[in-house]
Amino acid sequence: MNDEHPGELRGDDQATPDPIGGASLRLAAETGEGSQELAPADETSLVELAIEQGGVLRLPESDALDPDAADATFGAGETMILNIGPQHPSTHGVLRMMVELQGETVLRSKPVVGYLHTGMEKTGEELTYVQGATNVTRMDYLSPLHNELVYSLAVEKLLAVEIPPRATWIRMLMCELNRISSHIMWAATNGMDLASTTMMIFGLRERDLVLQFFEKVTGLRMNHNYIRPGGVAADLPDGWEDDVAVVVDTIGARLKDYDELLTGQPIFRERTEGVGVVSAELLLALSATGPILRAAGVPWDLRRSMPYLAYEEVDFDVIVGTSGDCFDRYAVRLNEVRESIRIVRQILEKMPSGDYRSEDKKVTPPARARINESMEALIHHFKLFTRGIEPPEGEVYVAVESPRGELGCYLVSDGSNRPMRMHIRAPSFANLQAVPAMLRDGLIADLIAILSSVDPVLGDVDR
């Protein structure tokens, strides 16, 4: 590894003013706690074995894990450990799965992550609050607007700044369109994983409609940096109502094609019904959120339960499944697209007029035209982009419902123009913990279907 990361790139060599003597030495000594891979069963501690077997079923009644209850009876030699990934077309990025098989049955499994880790939380500490949105938008690349939203909401909570209603509604419009594109992209890859390449083409085609609208509004198809602390970067372009109406009308009509192609199709149902079943109690204990939790019957959607933006003012249903299998996860997402379309139609009717960002000159830059005529505006502009926002000391946690579940941002400010700590609670990172429980005792052939149904985005997992 030292060859790949030459010494001059490594931070600890450069930390010349070492505020605490000998810290670097101790850091080195604390390294190397254990292997990340799935070890053979006889080399694994019983507690760890119990987790990997899905034995985490610590329901409210039973507080402690009983290692004796772990089924570790299968002997060495009868099983094999198979490595899948990190380069595998069906693992949705660079996810590596290690599974222990007995014949075709999965006994234990472990997701090994980190192949896409780019230290974005560390980068977030180096960027000013104004620059921060460009960083977080690159985390979950299928729902960039939600990342920007949660970061902006956290900064605004630190600043205690109010944003105008139109900015709130524009944010809501963009986020719901993003949810549509993310879920449809999921349906496309899920179809591809289950050998329905038609679904992949359908999904990519519909997602492109949304991305084209995003390009018109934000200038980019991904990594928008559109939702910023204080509001949004620009107002919606002229004629946006017609564009949005075309997008939702087209997608709404084409959802029928999906039903025809997949929902009632016997092969698809055979491959998803009763596969990867997991109980709501286990998912709650494992911190899982989003469609996989709702598919197990828990009506928990932050848009409804702990409303943010203006979700209290629109009508929509929280879609809930019953059995918590792959098919329910599919059905929940497909119907959430319909609900998002419903929300978008209401936004089209109710969009208020007014400013698209806060008028607070310490938070948002002045209008471009004002810079030419007002010295004060020029100073504000200059100060904002050189010095930036300086929120008061404090720490906040804000969460929104991203297409994958609870997306949280924990932001610590020390009063300077950069966050002292910027932590993103990534929904995919938590949801991945439920995968071993879903795979347990299933067939290896179902592994891809189950993995796909969880919808992990590795940019979100590894950050």
Which residues from 132-171 bind other proteins, rule CB under 8 A?
157-158, 160
In whole angstroms, the minimum distance from the beta carbon of 327 to other proteins comes to 24
Cβ–Cβ under 8 Å, residues 408 and 150? yes
Binding residue for other proteins (CB under 8 A) from 66, 71, 78, 126? 126
Binding residue for other proteins (CB under 8 A) from 306, 367, 379, 445? 306
Q: Indicate whether 119 belongs to the interface with other proteins (CB under 8 A).
A: yes
Phi, psi for 219 (deg, rounded to 5): 95, -10
Q: How far is CA 207 from CA 179, 221, 313, in A?
A: 10, 11, 27
Task: Please tell me whether residue 407 adopts helix, strand or coil conformation.
Answer: strand
In whole angstroms, the minimum distance from the beta carbon of 396 to other proteins comes to 5
Q: Indicate whether 244 belongs to the interface with other proteins (CB under 8 A).
A: no
103 class by beta-carbon count within 10 Å (0-12 exposed, 13-18 middle, 19+ buried) = exposed
In whole angstroms, the minimum distance from the beta carbon of 279 to other proteins comes to 13
Q: Which is nearer to other proteins, 19 or 77 (CB)?
A: 19
DSSP string, 196-247: -HHHHHHHHHHHHHHHHHHHHHHS-SS----EETTEESSPPPTTHHHHHHHH
In whole angstroms, the minimum distance from the beta carbon of 2 to other proteins comes to 8
Site for other proteins in 200-229 (CB under 8 A): none
The contact pattern for other proteins, residues 283-302, with x = CB under 8 A and - = no contact, is -xxxxxx--------x-x--
Q: Which is nearer to other proteins, 236 or 400 (CB)?
A: 400
- Spatial distance between the Cα atoms of 272 and 260, rounded to a whole number of angstroms: 16
Q: Which is nearer to other proteins, 8 or 238 (CB)?
A: 8
- Spatial distance between the Cα atoms of 133 and 233, rounded to a whole number of angstroms: 11
Binding residue for other proteins (CB under 8 A) from 58, 221, 269, 338? 58
Cβ–Cβ under 8 Å, residues 36 and 112? yes
Strand partners for 83: 98
In whole angstroms, the minimum distance from the beta carbon of 356 to other proteins comes to 25
Q: Indicate whether 353 belongs to the interface with other proteins (CB under 8 A).
A: no
Q: Indicate whether 122 belongs to the interface with other proteins (CB under 8 A).
A: yes
In whole angstroms, the minimum distance from the beta carbon of 340 to other proteins comes to 22
Q: Which is nearer to other proteins, 48 or 243 (CB)?
A: 48
Site for other proteins in 76-105 (CB under 8 A): none
Q: Indicate whether 117 belongs to the interface with other proteins (CB under 8 A).
A: yes
For the stretch 360-366, contacts whose Cβ atoms lie closer than 8 Å and that sit 24 or more positions apart, written own/partner, are 360/161, 360/230, 362/389, 362/390, 363/159, 363/161, 363/229, 363/230, 363/389, 364/228, 364/229, 364/230, 364/231
Tell me the site size for other proteins, rule CB under 8 A: 76
Binding residue for other proteins (CB under 8 A) from 3, 22, 31, 68? 31
- Spatial distance between the Cα atoms of 235 and 214, rounded to a whole number of angstroms: 12
- Spatial distance between the Cα atoms of 384 and 362, rounded to a whole number of angstroms: 7
Q: Which is nearer to other proteins, 335 or 431 (CB)?
A: 431
In whole angstroms, the minimum distance from the beta carbon of 457 to other proteins comes to 15
Q: Indicate whether 69 belongs to the interface with other proteins (CB under 8 A).
A: no
- Spatial distance between the Cα atoms of 133 and 153, rounded to a whole number of angstroms: 11
In whole angstroms, the minimum distance from the beta carbon of 27 to other proteins comes to 4
Q: Indicate whether 278 belongs to the interface with other proteins (CB under 8 A).
A: no
Residue 349, H or E segment: helix 326-350
Q: Which is nearer to other proteins, 94 or 377 (CB)?
A: 94
CA Rg value for the chain: 24
Q: Indicate whether 45 belongs to the interface with other proteins (CB under 8 A).
A: yes
- Spatial distance between the Cα atoms of 220 and 430, rounded to a whole number of angstroms: 29
Q: Indicate whether 417 belongs to the interface with other proteins (CB under 8 A).
A: no
Site for other proteins in 423-452 (CB under 8 A): 423, 425, 429-430, 432-433
Location of structure tokens 């729902």? 143
Cβ–Cβ under 8 Å, residues 357 and 164? yes
Q: Which is nearer to other proteins, 126 or 259 (CB)?
A: 126
Q: Which is nearer to other proteins, 25 or 367 (CB)?
A: 25
Site for other proteins in 354-373 (CB under 8 A): none
Check residue 249 and report its DSSP letter: H
